Amino acid sequence: MRPVIIMLLLLFLTGVIQAQPVKKYGQLKVTGTKLVDKTGKPVVLRGMSFGWHNLWPRVYNAGAVKWLKDDWKCTVVRASMGIELNDSGYLKNPVSSANKIRTVVEASIKEDIYVIIDWHDHNIHLNEAKAFFAEMSKQYGKYPHVIYEIFNEPDYETWPEVKAYSEEVIKTIRAHDPDNIILVGSPRWDQDIHLPAADPIKGYDNLMYTVHFYAATHKQWLRDRTDEAIKKGLPVFISECAGMEATGDGPINDEEWKAWIDWMEAGAISWITWSVSDKNETCSVLKKSAASYGNWKENDLKESGIKARNFLRKYNADE
């Protein structure tokens, strides 16, 4: 075979592997404070979170997942199952809610990207969470694509309350899935990361703890707090973030958003941007005119969408 043909074949195969994150990284695990791949090398996942499934069900489809992988270069997506709010939430409609999540999970497996199954709640619903995660881990635990986020953002619960809840849900997942990553929330909307750092969950492997930031509100103080938690040995995953205020609205603070991204990249910390939705707010990346199934042009995206897409394409292309 001629050298030029061999080179072209190698380039093609490299491109194929690059476009298949799970094939490239394989079974993830936690070593020390780092998320690492099948070879033990630190890995950074970068991607998008879908908005609440019960508010924006139209984007919970295979086409949107494929577009986020192919065009936005996401290596991970987050399926955010709304628990409360309305009649379409999990508490009142568990079957339909779980099926929406399955659609995104199965599309992610097909596209060979990682997927976070997010229990998008602000309150403790232990029995319902255990039933849901028993179902999900039994069905999908054999796939290395799956990551479980068991409590999106505890708000006013204490860390002992969140810890006790989390230990019960982790035990339920581990009965079916011994090794996929589990993400654990912390009080005050995932800002009090110092609390689990002082009293982490013990007896289980492959746990990480979530921090959420909105750059116009959460600045250097939260990066410093998270650095201290990591120094104490706590593995951190940024499962929700964006550039505007914590309300999800208001102007984007470009300087702080870039400071956060530089900090995450320097620390090899994975990050997910909020959110694939079309609400009239800064953090929703889509305009109302955007199609449900992807194929979004620049004029279908709001400012946050254009910037998030640019960040993802830049940093994931560097892998």
Under 8 Å between Cβ of 112 and 23: yes
- The pLDDT of residue 319: 64
What is the pLDDT at residue 63?
98
pLDDT of residue 10: 36
- Is residue 15 in a domain? no
pLDDT of 136 over the 50 cut: yes
pLDDT over threshold 60, residue 4: no
Specify which residues 213 forms β-bridges with.
241
Total number of domains constituting the chain: 1
d(CA 180, CA 178): 7
Section 231-239 average pLDDT = 98
pTM of the predicted model as reported, rounded to 2 decimal places: 0.94
* Mean pLDDT to the nearest integer, 114-126: 97
Mean pLDDT in residue range 15-38: 89
CATH of the domain at 255: 3.20.20.80
1 located within any domain: no
Contact 186, 155 (CB under 8 A): no
Average pLDDT, the chain: 94
Return the closest-CA partner of residue 149 out of 196, 204, 209: 209
| pLDDT band at 14; cut points 50, 70, 90 | very low
Specify the pLDDT at position 271.
98
To the nearest whole percent, how much of the chain has pLDDT over 70? 94
Q: Are 237 and 42 in contact (CB under 8 A)?
A: no
Residue 144 belongs to domain spanning: 39-317
In this prediction, residue 19 carries a pLDDT of 80
- Is residue 10 within 8 A of residue 126, CB to CB? The reply is no
Pairing of strands 29-31, 34-36: antiparallel
Find the range with the poorest average confidence among 13-27, 115-129, 209-223, 296-310. 13-27
Q: Which residues are catalytic?
A: 153, 240
Mean per-residue pLDDT, 187-212: 98
Q: Is residue 184 in a domain? A: yes
Contact present, 104 and 65 (Cβ < 8 Å): yes
- Does the residue 133 lie in any domain? yes
Q: Is residue 17 part of a domain?
A: no
pLDDT score of 12 more than 90: no
Confidence category of residue 169, pLDDT binned at 50, 70, 90: very high
Q: How many CA within 13 A on the CB side of residue 44?
A: 20
Per-residue model confidence (pLDDT) at position 94: 97
β-strand pairing of 114-120 with 46-50: unpaired
For 63-104, the pLDDT digits (tens) are 999 999 999 999 999 999 999 988 999 999 999 999 999 999
Structural domain includes residue 312: yes
Nearest to 52 by CA among 303, 231, 278: 278
Q: What is the 3-state secondary structure (H, E, C) of the chain?
A: CCHHHHHHHHHHHHHHHHCCHHHHHCCCEEECCEEECCCCCECCCEEEEECCCCCCHHHCCHHHHHHHHHCCCCCEEEEEEECCCCCCCCCCCHHHHHHHHHHHHHHHHHHCCEEEEEEECCCCCHHHHHHHHHHHHHHHCCCCCEEEECCCCCCCCCHHHHHHHHHHHHHHHHCCCCCCCEEECCHHHHCCCHHHHHCCCCCCCCEEEEEEEECCCCCHHHHHHHHHHHHCCCCEEEEEEECCCCCCCCCCCHHHHHHHHHHHHHCCCCEEEEEECCCCCCCCCECCCCCCCCCCCHHHECHHHHHHHHHHHHHHHCC
The reply to whether 203 falls in a domain is yes
What pLDDT, in 10s, does the model give residues 265-282? 999 999 999 999 999 999
Is residue 77 a part of any domain in this protein?
Answer: yes
pLDDT band at 167 (very low <50, low <70, confident <90, very high): very high
